[in-house]
């Protein structure tokens, strides 16, 4: 026998309960997003590499180490999307939608990052996310965050998750802070990790987000953003926290939340759990007022977040399973024709029904029980409805059937 090919490293198949969990997360999010007035978009899973390289920042881990980029047969550089925001902004611009704002976007789908696979970290993973494009008011941030909180509540995991929130200020506050960070970290230049030495040149704020042990020690005593905040930026943040209180979203200020991508300003936040060890961030995002302009579009402020479906799937309780389809069982070979009529009738009435492809009555009943069916219909000289839970059996007509099985 030939070798059995294995799934590519960092990818996984979704079947059975894994699929049920995944689907439950996505459908719960989709439903909540609709309640907040967000409509769904789907953008391609691959884009021109520049859609990501120009926007995520040249010092972000995603761009420097994690992108799945390749040259296609026409010689163009293509990248499998590592995240959703850049593609949505690209679609906003190329679709001419910057004329019809606000746009409130929900998306769900696979993302790709070349990372070392471990629990909760894959090379193909899935995200749900939202983007609210247009308004620059803190109310937009609050609604977007409130939607994230609601989804976590609907999934039954809000109790294990806390919202950590920070402000990165406006351009003026950020520049002032940047200067302070450069001064501080330059004093410890030799102690910084190689990555952070580079960040010191290009985007010193990113050092605050470093996962390196040594960096983290230095970060603990680094200057805080607060002192550099302009009046406007402070007012924005205060207003946001006030709205969060109105929306009843518990939150705590955390000055170390800066997010890994370069395009954030003002709001940055993460919903964090202690239940998943090192992979504790389940939903994260922020405001990105300069991104659309940076991509060549007009100035369109935006706020959004993304959440890892795999990590959410691990946290939720097994979702309720729908009962298996009604089992249609012909008593003998001659009864197959009538059994097929029953099968067609039930499906026509939107009742899930299936008929096995082989086996005697006993085998078929065993299989129906094992599959978790609530009812079987036995088709012989008579038509009988069998309740598989208590074994009770009653004669029925085909007209009765669809009425009784519709629950
Ligand atoms: P991390 O710090 O864990 O690497 P990140 O900052 O790279 O996360 P984001 O880019 O903010 O993550 O993506 C949002 C969410 O997507 C994360 O909080 C996480 O739940 C999920 N996620 C990111 N990368 C992966 C991955 N490789 N496998 C599974 N889920 C992921
Ligand atoms: Mg990462």
User: pLDDT tens digits for 264-274?
Assistant: 789 999 999 97
203 band by pLDDT with thresholds 50, 70 and 90: confident
Q: What is the CATH number of the domain that holds 309?
A: 3.30.930.10
Of all protein residues, whose CA lies closest to atom 7 belonging to ligand 1?
Answer: 260
Pairing of strands 302-308, 124-133: antiparallel
Ligand 1 contact, 121 CB (< 6 A): yes
Q: pLDDT tens for residues 342-362?
A: 999 999 999 999 999 999 999
Burial class (CB in 10 A: 0-12, 13-18, 19+), 244: buried
Pair 304, 359 in one domain: no
Domain around 248: 16-170+230-315
What total of structural domains would you count in the chain? Answer: 2
Take atom 26 of ligand 1 and give the residue whose Cα is closest: 121
Closest CA to 376 of 54, 351, 368: 368
Atom of ligand 1 nearest to the CA of 260: 6
Tell me if residue 378 falls in helix, strand or coil.
strand
Answer whether residue 281 is part of any domain. Answer: yes
CATH of the domain at 389: 3.40.50.800
Query: Residue 394 CA to chain centroid, in angstroms?
Result: 47
Residues 264, 46: Cα–Cα separation, whole Å: 23
* CA terminus-to-terminus distance, the chain: 49
pTM: 0.91
Question: Are residues 394 and 263 part of one domain?
Answer: no
Can you read off the two tokens belonging to residue 253? 């200020």
- In the predicted model, what is the mean pLDDT of residues 241-265? 88
């Amino acid at each position: 026998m030939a070798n059995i090919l294995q799934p590519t490293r960092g990818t996984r198949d979704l079947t059975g309960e894994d699929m049920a969990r995944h689907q439950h997360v996505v459908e719960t999010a989709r439903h909540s997003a609709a309640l907040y007035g967000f409509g769904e978009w789907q953008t391609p899973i691959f884009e021109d590499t520049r859609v990501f390289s120009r926007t995520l920042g040249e010092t972000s881990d995603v761009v420097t180490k994690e992108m799945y980029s390749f040259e296609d047969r026409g010689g163009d550089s293509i990248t499998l999307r590592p995240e959703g925001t850049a593609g949505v902004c690209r679609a906003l611009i190329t679709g001419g939608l910057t004329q019809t704002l606000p746009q409130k976007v929900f998306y769900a789908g696979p993302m790709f990052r070349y990372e070392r696979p471990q629990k909760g970290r894959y090379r193909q993973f899935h995200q749900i996310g939202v983007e609210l494009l247009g308004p620059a008011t803190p109310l937009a941030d609050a609604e977007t965050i409130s939607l994230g909180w609601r989804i976590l509540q609907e999934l039954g995991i809000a109790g294990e998750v806390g919202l950590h929130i920070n402000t990165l200020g406006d351009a003026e506050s950020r520049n002032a802070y940047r200067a302070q960070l450069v001064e501080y970290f330059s004093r410890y230049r030799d102690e910084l990790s190689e990555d952070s030495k580079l960040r010191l040149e290009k985007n010193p704020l990113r050092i605050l987000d470093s996962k390196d042990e040594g960096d983290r020690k230095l970060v603990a005593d680094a200057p805080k953003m607060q002192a550099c905040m302009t009046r406007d930026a402070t007012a924005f943040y205060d207003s946001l926290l006030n709205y969060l209180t109105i929306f009843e979203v518990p939150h705590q200020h955390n000055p170390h939340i800066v997010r890994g991508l370069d395009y954030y300003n003002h709001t940055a936040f993460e919903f964090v759990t202690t239940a998943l060890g090192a992979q504790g961030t389940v939903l994260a995002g922020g405001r990105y007022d300069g991104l659309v302009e940076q991509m060549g579009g007009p100035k369109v402020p935006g706020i959004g977040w993304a959440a890892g479906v795999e990590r959410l799937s691990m946290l939720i309780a097994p979702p309720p399973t729908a009962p298996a389809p009604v089992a249609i069982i012909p008593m003998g070979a001659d009864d197959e024709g009538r059994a097929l009529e029953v099968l067609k009738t039930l499906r026509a009435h939107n009742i899930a029904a299936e008929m096995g492809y082989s086996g005697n009555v006993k085998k078929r009943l065993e299989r129906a029980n094992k599959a978790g069916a609530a009812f079987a219909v036995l088709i012989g000289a008579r038509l009988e409805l069998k309740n598989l839970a208590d074994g009770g059996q009653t004669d029925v007509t085909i007209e009765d059937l669809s009425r009784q099985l519709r629950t």
